[in-house]
Chain A
Amino acid sequence: MAKAAPIPGLEADTLFGAAAAAAVEVRVGEVFAHSEGILDVSDIERVHAMRVATRRLRAALEVFGACFPKKEHRRVLGEVKALADALGERRDPDVAIEELEKVGRKLAKADAAGVASLVAVHRAEQARGNEVLSAALDSAAEARLADRLMALAESARAVDVEAAEDEVAS
Chain B
Amino acid sequence: MKARRVKGLDCDGRLDDNARRIVKVRLDELRSFAPKALNPTEVETLHDMRIAAKRLRYVLEITSPALGSAAEEGAQAAKELQDLLGKIHDCDVMTPRVRAHVKLLRLEDAEYLRRGAQGAEDLSPRAARAAPNRMRYRGLEALHAYLSARRAVLFERFVTHWEGLEASGFAADLEARLRNSGEPTPAAPVAAGTP
Q: Which chain A residues have a beta carbon within 8 Å of chain B's beta carbons?
A: 4, 6-7, 10-17, 19-20, 23, 55-56, 59-60, 62-63, 66-67, 95-96, 99-100, 103-104, 107-108, 110-118, 121, 156, 159-160, 163
- Are the C-beta atoms of B62 and A60 separated by less than 8 Å? yes
The answer to whether B139 and A14 have CB atoms under 8 Å apart is: no
**CB-CB < 8 A to B141: which residues of A?**
114
Picked from B9, B97, B140, the residue with its CB within 8 Å of the CB of A115 is: B140
Chain B binding site: helix, strand, loop or mixed by DSSP? helix
A-B Cβ contacts below 8 A, count: 125
Q: Which of B11, B142, B183 contacts A67 (CB 8 A)?
A: B11
A118 touches B59 (CB 8 A): no
Asked if A112 and B15 sit within 8 Å, CB to CB, the answer is no
Q: Number of B residues contacting the other chain (C-beta, 8 Å)?
A: 41
> In the complex, are the beta carbons of A4 and B136 less than 8 A apart?
no
Q: Report which residue of B14, B15, B65 has the largest number of chain A beta carbons within 10 angstroms of its beta carbon.
A: B15
> CA of A99 to CA of B150 in the docked complex: distance in angstroms?
13
Chain A: minimal CB distance from B55 (Å)? 7
> When chains A and B are docked, how far (Å) is the Cα of A85 from the Cα of B181?
36
Say if the beta carbon of B96 comes within 8 Å of chain A: no
- Is B101 at the interface (CB under 8 A from chain A)? yes
How far is A118 from B104 in the complex, measured between Cα atoms in Å?
11
**B136 A59 Cβ-Cβ under 8 A:** no
Interface check B138, CB cutoff 8 A: yes
Q: Is B84 an interface residue (CB 8 A)?
A: no
- B interface list, Cβ under 8 A from A: 3, 9-16, 18, 22, 54-55, 58-59, 61-63, 65-67, 90, 94, 97-98, 101, 105, 133, 135-143, 146, 181-183
Chain B residues with Cβ below 8 Å from A12 are 14-16, 66-67, 181-183
Of the candidates A16, A110, A112, the one having the most CB atoms from chain B within 10 angstroms of its own CB is A16
CB-contact partner of A13 in B3, B15, B55, B94, under 8 A: B15
Known: A11-B65, A12-B181, A63-B22. A110 touches B97 (CB 8 A): no
